[in-house]
Structure 1
Amino acid sequence: MAIHSVRSHRCDQCPKSFTSRHKLQSHINGVHLRKRDFKCEICGKAFLENNNLKGHMRIHSGERKYACDLCPKRFLFAGTLRSHMLTHSQEKHHKCEICDKLFLLRTTLNKHLRVHTGEKPHSCSVCDKSFRTTTHLAVHMRTHTGEKPLCCRICGMAFAHHKGRSVHMKAKHPQELVALGLIDDKGHLKCTDTVEMVASNAKY
């Protein structure tokens, strides 16, 4: 006989109910008390659950643990990977009326439109700069924090941005990249994350 979870723990501030007291308390803390105990030490953003903070930290570290099985792209979050997978199986129906570019998702089109409108809704809390996306804002924050989360695993030099690391690796370690098969005929790195992983393994 199948056992179904009973939502016996009811919130006294709204109609929602939960299967455990812990889930109920998390709901009250996050929704009604707006309690956020897990704070990012880099940008100050606070979260209800520690797992949410861990996921957020990937924005600062640049870690892209979710890989597409059909192309070389990697992503920070599982949800972003799921959205990306649709690009391999569905047609792009959302068209930009300004430049005719097509997009799979309406949300992606809306972000693209900011290129034309100049809208930059994400503001830096330290200076007066604004950005089109949260990712661009997170990268910008490194100029204030001095954070350099991206490392060249061949020599260990640290970088704040992917571009700086790529330029360094091609200029300082061309022979290693060729030997590892991680640079194509046009001089482009095949995948920076793969370079880190393979070069690190080759070093030890």
Structure 2
Amino acid sequence: MKKHKGQNDFNCKFCGKGFVQRKIFNSHLRTSHQMSQEEVDRLRWADSGCEIDGNKCVECNIEFQTCQELFKHCTAKHAEKQKFMCDICGKAFTSKAWLTSHQKYHKGIKSKKCMKCPSAFTEHKGLRTHLRRVHNMSDEEVYALGFGAQ
């Protein structure tokens, strides 16, 4: 039922699209952004707090054969770094800013309004994507409106 409530737990940092299920999000990354499975797996570490270098955990100085093994290690050994937890869904984040951003979706806060139509978004990235796709605005036009990388 999350889909009907507009709750997307997996948001694409490249295009702003949101997804309810990780497997659909992963498929989007592979097809829409031509990412390999290894690159998709590495994105999963973005919020884990585990510092990596290739297939090596920098904190523990352990190198793994595959990125999947490294991911399992990081989630098992370094999961405590995700200390900011959403009181609505239980999802954990490494920073207060990521948690606050995530909670906007639950609360339905859509303060970023489109000046060309009634659409509204929780974050600037959603509005930027909307302006490009729906209103066919160029990057330069979007940035001129003050919706640069924020």
Q: TM-score range by the shorter chain?
A: 0.3 to 0.5
Ranked by relative contact order (alpha carbons within 8 Å, sequence separation 6 or more), the top structure is 2
Please give the TM-score of this superposition, normalised by the length of structure 1. Answer: 0.31
Higher alpha-carbon Rg:
1
Please give the TM-score of this superposition, normalised by the length of structure 2. Answer: 0.40
